[in-house]
Structure 1
Amino acid sequence: MVSQLEAPVLDSNRPPYIVEGLVQVFTCQHRSFFANVIAQALRIAGQGTPVLVVQFLKGGIAQGCDRPVTLGQHLDWLRCNLPRSVNTPDLEDGEATSLLELWEHTKRVVAEGKYTLVVLDELSLAINFGLIPEGEVLTFLRDRPSQVDVILTGPDMPQGILDVADQITELRRSYRP
């Protein structure tokens, strides 16, 4: 007698199991480490994983939520629709509105499960400038889909963020005589 087993039909768009996403923090006092983070994002996107890179304080190129730069097929890169890069907590009303629109857009697309890796560049500065509330970021991290990895960057990362991070990478310069 021959028996026939029927294999379950798997959705090719979803893995058969879910791997818990990580919260990673990259921080340092100088601002020259983004290359390490973007290299990781490009490597992961090159393997077919959807990646979102959001730069909250970079502007000057009239980008915004509705005009992402797409690198390859799997990496979307957003910058705030600002006429300049932000280096102070003092924003004009239109600039503050643009930054908050980018934050709301980020929360929405992550909640929809569109991306597997999300890089939030210079988020610590946005928090420390009082532009994005730390409590909202903590809620975002807690409520994101469980399989989403999040990388947060910036100097002086708030302790509340560090407390929920799975991995903290602190880069520092070493001087050799």
Structure 2
Amino acid sequence: MVSQLEVPARDGNHSLPHTVEGLVQVFTCPHRSFFTSVMAQALRIAGQGTPVLIVQFLKGGIGQGYQRPVQLGQHLDWVRCDLPRCIDTPDLEETEIAALRELWDHTRSIVSQGKYSLVVLDELSLAINFGLISEAEVLEFLESRPMQVDVILTGPDMPAALLDQADQITELRRTHRP
């Protein structure tokens, strides 16, 4: 069962007197596959009527690409790189590099338009560490985004410069108990 919330449109008489500045959150972990809590947060926020964009840079295999986003409900768009496989190594073919660059360029463009209130950039740290997206580009993206947009960055080994920009850092750790 799917439920949808309708958010009433605000007219000029009911707008907030100021814009709340968006946060940069980092979720990092020494291993991959910890996306569940971030996804739950994105779904919860979208379910409340807030526009959300999830971008998975290193996931492929389903022929999606940014031209064909998966739309979950009315307020959540989910895009993956248009790749024939998931990326787990920096050794890529030129077509794979081009697909990832196209997704990054699209992400920067669509976020700058202010369409989304929350943007999740999944496994961004791996894309940086593999040399596919530069750290400088990500820092510029964070600085130039509309001020009300919240951004969540995920991935292992998050670069220190991005951690320095974060308003909140969540480090997930596994504990093994007998």
Runs of 5+ unmatched residues, structure 1: 1-8
- Which deviates more, 28-37 or 98-107? 28-37
143 and 174 in structure 1: CA distance in 2 versus 1, 3 angstrom threshold: same
Cα deviation 1:59-118 (Å, max 9, x = unaligned): 000111110000000000000000000001111111110100000000000000010000
Aligned length, in residue pairs: 169
Question: Structure 2 CA distance, aligned partners of 1:131 and 1:41?
Answer: 25
Instruction: Identify the residue that residue 21 of structure 1 maps to in structure 2.
Output: 22
Instruction: Identify the residue that residue 125 of structure 1 maps to in structure 2.
Output: 126
The structure number with the bigger radius of gyration is: 1
Question: Structure 2 CA distance, aligned partners of 1:12 and 1:113?
Answer: 21
Q: CA deviation at 1:135?
A: 0.3
Using the size of structure 1 for normalisation, the TM-score is 0.92
**Aligned residues: CA RMSD:** 1.5
Large movers: runs of 4+ above 4 Å: 12-16
Q: Are 1:10 and 1:16, in contact at CA under 8 Å, matched by a contact in 2?
A: no
Instruction: Identify the residue that residue 152 of structure 1 maps to in structure 2.
Output: 153
Q: CA deviation at 1:17?
A: 2.8
Instruction: Identify the residue that residue 57 of structure 1 maps to in structure 2.
Output: 58
Question: Structure 1 CA distance, aligned partners of 2:66 and 2:23?
Answer: 25
46 and 127 in structure 1: CA distance in 2 versus 1, 3 angstrom threshold: same
Q: CA deviation at 1:12?
A: 8.2
Instruction: Identify the residue that residue 35 of structure 1 maps to in structure 2.
Output: 36
Cα deviation 1:13-46 (Å, max 9, x = unaligned): 9644311100000000122310100000000000
The residue type paired with residue 50 of structure 1 is P
Asked if residue 68 in structure 1 is aligned to residue 62 in structure 2, the reply is no
Q: Are 1:54 and 1:79, in contact at CA under 8 Å, matched by a contact in 2?
A: yes
Using the size of structure 2 for normalisation, the TM-score is 0.91
Runs of 5+ unmatched residues, structure 2: 1-9
